[in-house]
Structure 1
Amino acid sequence: MEQLAVNNLSLVLAFALVLVAVFVSSKEKLGLSKDILYGIVRAVIQLSIIGYVLTYIFQLNNLVLTSAMSLFIVVNASWNAYKRNPSTQKNYWHSFSAIFISTYITLGILVLSGAIRFIPSQIVPISGMIASNSMVAIGLCYRSLNKQFHDQRQQVLEKLALGATIKLASLPILRESIKTGMQPTIDSAKTVGLVSLPGMMSGLMFAGVDPLHAIKYQIMVTFMLLSTTSLGSIIAGYHAYKNYFNHDLQLLDEEETE
């Protein structure tokens, strides 16, 4: 099969698509033009650097470096999930524990089952795939928690006044927030193969792998993403809802959480 090649001219022409997004943002006064350009410049720099780093790590095939790179991904994903939490009472370690546990439980099962091997060319990209999806799910969960504690403040106060524990008073909010975090992955699973041909499957087929083998890998990816987003959302949600209460188990004022 002929190998695909992306030359500099291809990249320049593809950049024109970015300019379309910038034009739309400018014309509609969305205020996203700077963010788009900043995001593109940052992505190019980060990908260029990580490309050289991964080339070195893949060639070295060292257990310690592979583990360190995987942990580096988890730490950064946790930091980004933490930043997406609109509450002023947020805690980085809540995000880290949620992503760390959800990522390595899923990754551990894949390695122990023989689905993947503990080599950098498999562990690093799979770690990134798992951690990034967990990061997105947790970010959505945090935003939903913050919004619902604002919108349903009176209901929570009434439940507390009637003697409910903070967990019982927050349970409907907590459940809805976890659901919000998981929903994009569930929706994606429903439409995979019909609407979208996801990255791993498409990449394998680009590389010349038989479509049936590529589909098996994509099914595995779907399973692992459902696992990690559910675990991540649950762990983060059950940590984060407590941030909306003080040590006396009273609901914090809105000014204290925004």
Structure 2
Amino acid sequence: MQNSTLLNLGPLSWILLALLLLAAAAVWRYLLGRSMLEILLAGVRALLQLAVVALLISQLSSHPLLALAFIALMFVIAVWTSGRRISKHGRWWMAALPIAAAVLPVALLMFFSGVLPWNALALIAIIGQQIGGAMATTTLAGRRIEAELLGRRGEVEAAVALGFTWPAARRFVSKEVAGEAVVPSIDQARTAGTVTLPGAFVGLILGGASPLEAGQIQLLVLISLLLVNGLAAWVCLLLSNRQAWMSRDTAQIA
């Protein structure tokens, strides 16, 4: 009988899991010079959170409205995570704008077109991936743009001296790097099926879907993420050009 999971699970898998986490923490600490605790805590949090989420999803499978509440919680956590990476001591809550502006229109389009059904598991799976993609893009785009504006501040000031407004001067510098955060999702779409087989694709086939159906579903996910991530990067660009991540006092000094 074919195994219903992709990997062989058992006691050895837990031992391997611990070894992989320790190895990742060692690389983070000794090769990259960062705190080992950050990786270890991330691994432990992932274990605990996945256990709780698995239990919750099993209870939410027939309650779409409760699934929306769970999605709202996912959104709040994504905003906190991404915003604190970009502006820990500033307006970190501004991360809600790129994430919401990216996810809402795409999710609503999929829902009202009838492609995304009013089903708890489908809502959590699809919108959850979109929130995760928007969160990662917001973090990368926000940090990259802010660093570029800081490093090339002289060019911004020179543009202002030539008559540009401050937002236009910042855009002159930041637009070059705003799209960098979308490149990984572009590469993922370009190499799907050749370099990587996405987990959802493999899982659908293992669950009994035909290869054609699994491929079409995965394609919808990948293409929707391209739009989600592009919108998130664009809104981050707008926010940075207007110094929206900074507190009012910090923005005045800058």
Equivalent residue, structure 2, for 1:115: 115
| Deviation larger for 200-209 or 129-138 | 200-209
1:42 aligns with 2:48: no
The 5 Å alignment of 1:174-193 reads 174-193=174-193
The alpha-carbon distance between structure 1 residues 17 and 88, as it changes in their structure 2 partners (threshold 3 A), is closer
Equivalent residue letter for 1:215:
G
Aligned CA RMSD, in angstroms, stands at 2.7
Equivalent residue letter for 1:46:
Q
User: What is the distance in 1 between the residues matched to 2:55 and 2:70?
Assistant: 13
User: What is the distance in 2 between the residues matched to 1:112 and 1:91?
Assistant: 32
User: What is the distance in 2 between the residues matched to 1:79 and 1:138?
Assistant: 11
Equivalent residue letter for 2:9:
V
**Contact 2:103–2:130 under 8 Å retained in 1:** yes
User: What is the distance in 2 between the residues matched to 1:53 and 1:194?
Assistant: 35
User: What is the distance in 1 between the residues matched to 2:63 and 2:32?
Assistant: 50
Equivalent residue, structure 2, for 1:195: 195
Equivalent residue, structure 1, for 2:136: 136
User: What is the distance in 2 between the residues matched to 1:156 and 1:240?
Assistant: 13
User: What is the distance in 1 between the residues matched to 2:101 and 2:226?
Assistant: 14
Runs of 4+ in 1 over 6 A off after TM superposition: 244-248
User: What is the distance in 1 between the residues matched to 2:58 and 2:230?
Assistant: 32
The alpha-carbon distance between structure 1 residues 79 and 26, as it changes in their structure 2 partners (threshold 3 A), is closer
User: What is the distance in 1 between the residues matched to 2:245 and 2:13?
Assistant: 53
Equivalent residue, structure 2, for 1:105: 105
Q: CA deviation at 1:88?
A: 4.5
User: What is the distance in 2 between the residues matched to 1:210 and 1:228?
Assistant: 27
The alpha-carbon distance between structure 1 residues 175 and 65, as it changes in their structure 2 partners (threshold 3 A), is same
* TM-score of the aligned structures, taking structure 1 as reference length: 0.86
Q: CA deviation at 1:82?
A: 0.4
Equivalent residue letter for 2:205:
M
**Contact 1:99–1:131 under 8 Å retained in 2:** yes
Equivalent residue, structure 2, for 1:234: 234
Equivalent residue letter for 1:156:
V
**Contact 1:205–1:211 under 8 Å retained in 2:** yes
Equivalent residue, structure 1, for 2:24: 21
User: What is the distance in 1 between the residues matched to 2:128 and 2:220?
Assistant: 15
1:6 aligns with 2:9: yes
Q: CA deviation at 1:205?
A: 2.1
Query: 1:97-155 deviations in whole A, cap 9, x for unaligned?
Result: 22112112111111122222121110012121001111111111111122111121111
Q: Percent identity?
A: 23
The alpha-carbon distance between structure 1 residues 233 and 35, as it changes in their structure 2 partners (threshold 3 A), is same
Equivalent residue letter for 2:72:
L
Query: 1:47-72 deviations in whole A, cap 9, x for unaligned?
Result: 111111111111xx234312211111
The 5 Å alignment of 1:48-59 reads 48-58=51-61
* TM-score of the aligned structures, taking structure 2 as reference length: 0.87
Equivalent residue letter for 1:74:
F
Equivalent residue letter for 1:157:
E
